[in-house]
Copies of this chain bind each other. A is one copy, B any other.
């Protein structure tokens, strides 16, 4: 077999780089002049990509479309918004280009991140961590009896991909009733699926709504004023998907009116929020700076996941996390 050229525009640690080069050998690695700034930043056009058989990283759409030898692209994130268009899908199909993402790498950390939010809310940590109230005081009673066991909460997931699947696994021993909204049910889901028709009824009974939607033309502003008006009063909204799927003005209004008891967001639009943004001062709005997928040795996890798929690609067996 002729040596393949694998283009990589990822910013890798030394350990991850060694792992990557050893794993790709005897095939060839091609690097761009300037590595990408982050896992989500789109790299500039790079001529090295034009010769590549395989790309691993965050290439520009134009560079990918111009790379005539390219047979496989693995995006180094769970999100792949800029490729998720009818035009790109058509071009990829016509060129016989396989596209995979790295959702397996991020499913676990993202699920743990949102579960840390859900449990922090259930145990009232934002108030409790600031309190040294005495046993029997009114504040203590409020905290102690305000905690709601997860088995007594109904959770609705928006989106049912790798993160949702992992979150459902983590929630199982809690005995939490979980259902999930999915555009098109496939029949192999591990929880009851909510359709667009039944979504209002599901929103009306959920204690927690966990938004895991990706960013695409259909999902933009999915959670709008109408959506928030359908929520059960006192429910809590979580977002570890993409900030663009939420009408943030409507979210702030839902928090200010008290209809939403709290919001926990790892993603916003834009990121970071500019100083003075209404979400920064909305009541009970808890924000983390898009770190849900992060974890120790993230670069090595991404490389290991790529190499596993690279062996499959070389052997001609089905790729993991294939999205096109």
Contact = CB atoms under 8 A, between A and B. Distances in A.
A173 interface: yes
Contacts of A294: 143-147
Contact of A288 (B125, B145, B288): B125
Given A108-B151, A143-B291, A289-B140, A173 B174 contact: no
B112 A150 contact: yes
A119 interface: yes
Interface string A162-173: 000000011011
Nearest to A274: B132
Interface string A284-324: 00111111011111100000000000000000000000000
B128 A289 contact: yes
A207 B20 CA distance: 29
A148 interface: yes
A232 to B, nearest CB: 15
A131 B41 contact: no
Interface residues of A, number: 56
Nearest to A38: B136
Given A174-B112, A288-B129, A145 B40 contact: no
A227 interface: no
Total copies of the chain: 2
A149 interface: yes
Contacts of A170: 173-174
A129 B286 contact: yes
A135 interface: yes
A151 to B, nearest CB: 7
A95 B297 CA distance: 61
Contacts of A297: 145
Contacts of A132: 272-273, 280, 287, 289
Interface in A123-141: 123-125, 128-129, 131-136, 140
Contacts of A68: none
Nearest to A133: B289
A79 to B, nearest CB: 12
A81 interface: no
A182 interface: no
Interface of A: 37-38, 40-41, 108-109, 112-113, 115-116, 119-120, 122-125, 128-129, 131-136, 140, 143-152, 169-170, 172-174, 271-273, 280, 286-291, 293-298
